Structure formats: structure tokens, C-alpha cells
Amino acid sequence: MNFPDDLLYSPGHLWVRAQGGTVTVGISDFAQDQLGRVVYVDLPSVGQAVAAGQEMGAVESAKSVSDLIAPVSGRVAEINEALADNPAPLNDDPYASGWLARIELSGALPAELVDAAAYRKLVGA
């Protein structure tokens, strides 16, 4: 499994790429592997306020439906609209074209976010 070292990871298996006051969020390679083939994604709305630890959407696969738990607090600035028509990038390219949303932070990054080494230990990889 791939866990890029330049990202942070949440206990809810989302990755975070910080870029100034905005973060890009997506599901980790571990999460997409556990889900199996993603068939539908329910993303938050642009402008929606999200709170770290709270549900901000869902991902549906042939196996199950999993909530997307916001890894940060802030306001959704952009969503990956291409995933509505074709969620395949969530499985095929989770760290690039499979990103979910960009969120403008309303505070600091939560302490619950861990680096790639700690996330590997968390998931037993």
C-alpha cells in the first residue's frame, strides 16, 4: 500500500494535504482497499461548514457504505465534481485525481492527524 510521506492521515482513513490555509482531502489507499470498488460518493456542498470528527459525506462500494468523517474544521471551498459521474479515481488514483474536497481551515490542524509512519503503524502496514 502507498502512504505518501508528504500527507497527514486521520483516524477515519482520510488523507490531508495542507497548502496554506486550505487543505485537500481524500481517502487513503488503505481505505479504498478495504472498501473495494467504489460505486458512489456523496460529497459535501461547496460552502458547507464541516467540523473535524463529524460526518461530511459518504462513500458506497459493493461491500458497504462508509461515512466520510471530516479530518479538519472549516468551509468546503471546492469538491471533485468529476467523482459524481465516475468514482473510479477513488480506487485507481486516491492521492491525485481521486481527491474529495478542498477545505478552507477555520483553525489549526487537529492533533489527531498523524504522519505516514504513524498511519502505517495504525493500519498494520
Number of neighbouring beta carbons within 10 Å of residue 31:
22
Q: Is position 1 within any domain?
A: no
Q: How many domains does the chain have?
A: 1
Distance CA 5, CA 9 (A): 10
3-state secondary structure of 82: helix
Q: Is position 2 within any domain?
A: no
Model confidence at 125: pLDDT above 90: no
Can you give the pLDDT at residue 43?
A: 96
Q: Is position 103 within any domain?
A: yes
- The 10s digit of each residue's pLDDT in 25-40 is 999 999 999 999 999 9
Contact 43, 83 (CB under 8 A): yes
Residue percentage of the chain with pLDDT more than 70: 100
CATH of the domain at 54: 2.40.50.100
The residue range of the domain holding 17 is 8-123
Distance CA 86, CA 102 (A): 19
Q: Is position 70 within any domain?
A: yes
* This prediction's pTM: 0.93
Q: Is position 108 within any domain?
A: yes
Q: Kindly indicate the confidence band of residue 70, based on its pLDDT and cuts at 50, 70 and 90.
A: very high
Model confidence at 1: pLDDT above 90: no
User: What number is the average pLDDT over the span 49-58?
Assistant: 96
Q: Is position 3 within any domain?
A: no
Q: Is position 21 within any domain?
A: yes
Q: Where are the alpha helices (DSSP H) in the chain?
A: 29-35, 82-85, 89-92, 116-123
